[in-house]
Amino acid sequence: MSQFSLLTTYSPWLLVVCLAAGALYTWLLYSKKTPWSPRINYLLAALRFVVVSFLCFLLLGPYFKAITNTVEKPTIVVAVDNSQSVGLFTNKNTLAAVTDKLNQVIRNLQDADLQVDIKTLDLPAHGPTDLSGIKYDNPVTNLDELLTNVQAVYQNKNLAGVVLLSDGIQNQGKSAAFSDYNFTIYPVAVGDTVLKKDIAIPGLLYNKIAYSGNKFPLVAEVASEGFSGAAAVLLKENGRVLDRKNVTLRQTQPVRAEFNLTANEPGKKHYEITVVPQQGEFTTLNNTKHAYLEIIKGKLRILIAAAAPHPDIKALRAAIETNENFETELYIPGVFPLKQEAYDVAVLHQLPSRLQASNEALAFVQQKKIPTLYIIGGTTDLAAFNNLRAGVAINRRGNQTDQVTPALNPAFKKFQVDEKAPTDFNKYPPAEVPFADFTLAPNTETILYQQVGQVKTSKPLLLSQISNDKRNAVMVADGIWQWRLTEAAATEKPAVFDNLMVSTMQLLTAQQNRKRLNVYPVQDEYLVADEIRFEGEVYNTIFEKIYGQEITLRIRDEKNKTRSFSFINGEGFSGLNIGNLPGGVYSYTASTVLDGKTEQDKGEFVVQDLQLEALNALADHDLLHQLGQKTGSRLYYPNQTESLQADILNADYKNVIYENEKLEDLINLKWLFFAVLLLVSTEWFLRKYYGSY
């Protein structure tokens, strides 16, 4: 329903003045003797009166005010837990019956002038229109995500309540019972709350990363209900049994079967652990669990050498060792001897030194061409350091020092720095740097700038030089141990400082990528429900990105079944979506032709089949009861759908009327201009036609 009114900015009593002005103007013009008849004169006078009066009226600032009322019906959302557990462990007849009954409830609510929408766990943009066509195949259950999504989508709408059809089993996200929802939840319980006679593997204990040549354990937890005695647990790889363990089942608590494996060649591995099925089990779907891990080369070894003991050394060592892929070896003359072994990277603290310290470590690092992080301090011999050509020349001005804190260089992109780093950097105490001129060498990038007080300078604090023959980094600060200590005191875990040091080590140890074709999955690990996407980059001979090449991608699974895809890496290409794949370890080979030569790229990725929905067959109606009680409702069972419908209708949800007010100046209406023009033109034509003076 709409209401229209015409208002003026100034007093409407001025309309009398407008009419008087129109009448006066008309009388002065047409009161004289005219060559046309009185009838034509009255017509011309009327036209002029209307035009002049209307133009005067426009000076009053007239505008239209339109009020439109929109009625929004109450909306009931039917949220369906379409997970595999509902389909697996709910009696088929019961599920079909409750689906039919809820469909009837939906029709009755719609007849009662309520809007009804259907939502499922996979959160499609447009939900189904009927419950009968829903497939119960979602591999995980996250009821909180489902209900939170409903709350967000209907935030500014007339949401009356949510009918939740579920077994209450959750295996992803936080428990819905701990969230607050601003709508009434009407839970309808399905599933089975009776314990079943069953054996399951609820979990596996293992490290996701193992080092080649090392032994590592893989532990399976075996739970049972209604069984006792011996059971066999098998460890398989590619369908081949590697080991077998016998366990004695206990109903009071899970028992463990431990397998010890040897990590051989590097790569991704997929192991399958299975409990041999027993007669009388309710289901064997939860008898199998999969383990996915990566075998990598041994830990990267880092030499930390210093001219003398210093608190920085402990801070650096602690930060680097937060990454389990790194192990450190310490060298301080007269304290820890130098072990001349193979190292992947070195940290030289205030070396070369002005002290009477041995430069044995420096000579060793230079001889072996080990990538190095140099820490500049008060005892560093800057002249000797400049001769190393480590990426920066430091020309000191006297013996003065600056007190600085770090400031992030937003242009540095070789690794990601924590988003909260700038905030934490502002809390760091100042560290001491030499007051000097800094000259950067080619291929050198600044990671952190020096900040004096609140002034960010262009002087480097942390920089890196990565080229074909040089891989160096330089930290121009003495006393960085205070940064880690300050951050640890404020946040318990100095994540920003530690990640910065680890990322710098990874930058120095990473092999430079000179491939002209780089094709890779967006993630290293996927779930069976995830859509897998690949991205591709192609470079010319001087390693500039180029576009328009056709790339062929071949993916091979553990059974040597090959899937082939092709795509063109256009500019702005969002990636190749190959859809879902079964669980397992996959290898891929990508190829394209550049300058008449075939370029290839290879890699691996994992698709995890967690089988979360098969682990728990026991419905959690207590959770559903809590949701209903917490939002002012109660729990309903499949034979209580009529009570559900009655309770919703008795709640007497009302329509919401939204009032929309629209103001528009009369002078902005274009058709009025043409109307006035028509009146003026008509008057002019008649005057000319009948003989104007």
pLDDT digits (tens, 9 = 90+) for 169-209: 998 888 898 989 999 999 999 998 888 888 999 888 888 87
**3 state SS for 640-681:** HHHHHHHHHHHCCCCCEEEEEEEEEEHHHCHHHHHHHHHHHH
Give the pLDDT mean for 16-31: 87
Nearest to 332 by CA among 311, 306, 310: 306
The arithmetic mean of pLDDT across residues 654-677, rounded, is 85
pTM of the model as a whole: 0.58
Distances (CA, A) of 114 to 102, 123, 152, 644, 688: 15, 22, 20, 15, 67
C-alpha 36, offset from chain centre: 83
Alpha carbon separation from 387 to 352, 355, 384, 391, 502 (Å, rounded): 10, 18, 5, 10, 27
- Closest residue by Cα to residue 146 from 116, 113, 168, 130: 168
Q: Which CATH number fits domain 517-608: 1.20.120.10, 3.40.50.1000, 3.30.565.10, 2.60.40.1930?
A: 2.60.40.1930
12-26, 303-317, 414-428 — which one is most confidently predicted on average? 303-317
**pLDDT interval class at 686 (50, 70, 90):** confident
405's enclosing H/E stretch is strand 392-408
Alpha-carbon span 631 to 361, nearest angstrom: 69
CATH topology of domain 74-193+618-650: Rossmann fold (3.40.50)
Q: Kindly state the helix (H) or strand (E) to which residue 110 belongs, with its residue range.
A: helix 92-111
Reported for 25-31, long-range contacts at CB under 8 A and 24+ positions apart, including other chains, are 25/49, 25/52, 26/52
Q: Please list the residues that pair with 589 across neighbouring strands.
A: 554, 602
Mean pLDDT of the residues in the chain:
88
Bridge pairing between strands 532-539 and 545-546: antiparallel
Given this chain, do its domains 198-296 and 300-509 carry the same CATH topology?
A: no
Tokens of 581: 């794949």
- CA dihedral over 414, 416, 419, 422, signed as positive or negative: negative
Domain 198-296, CATH among 2.60.40.10, 1.25.50.10, 1.10.540.10, 1.10.3720.10: 2.60.40.10
Give the pLDDT mean for 402-412: 92
d(CA 186, CA 208): 42
Closest residue by Cα to residue 519 from 502, 538, 501:
538
- Let me know: does 461 contact 475? Beta carbons within 8 Å: yes
Give me the half-sphere count of Cα atoms (radius 13 Å) on the Cβ side of residue 374.
Answer: 32
For residues 347 and 304, the answer to whether their CB atoms sit within 8 Å is yes
For residue 87 the two structure tokens come to: 């389909």
Q: Classify domain 300-509 by CATH architecture.
A: 3-Layer(aba) Sandwich (3.40)
pLDDT at 357: 64
What's the confidence (pLDDT) of residue 664?
Answer: 84
Say how many C-beta atoms besides its own lie within 10 A of residue 521's C-beta: 22
Amino acid 2: pLDDT? 67
Sign of CA dihedral 289, 292, 298, 304: negative
Residues making up the chain, counted from first to last: 693
Strand positions, DSSP E, 476-583:
517-521, 525-527, 532-539, 545-546, 550-556, 562-568, 576-579
pLDDT at 318: 95
pLDDT tens by residue, 293-319? 888 777 789 999 998 999 999 999 999
Q: How far apart are CA 494 and CA 620, in angstroms?
A: 40
Domain positions in the chain are: 2-69+663-690, 74-193+618-650, 198-296, 300-509, 517-608
Q: How far is CA 164 from CA 79, 150, 168, 401, 619, in A?
A: 5, 11, 10, 67, 14
471-475 and 455-466 beta bridge pairing:
antiparallel
CB-count exposure of residue 54 (10 Å: 0-12, 13-18, 19+): middle
Tell me: the pLDDT tens digits for 344-379?
A: 999 999 999 888 666 788 999 999 999 999 999 989
Whether the Cβ atoms of residue 393 and residue 442 lie closer than 8 Å to each other: no
Residue 352: count other Cβ atoms within 10 Å of its Cβ: 22
575 phi, psi to nearest 5 deg: 110, 155
| Beta strand spans in 276-333 (E) | 288-296, 300-306, 326-331
Q: For residue 126, is pLDDT > 80?
A: no
CA dihedral sign, ordered 423, 500, 349, 442: negative
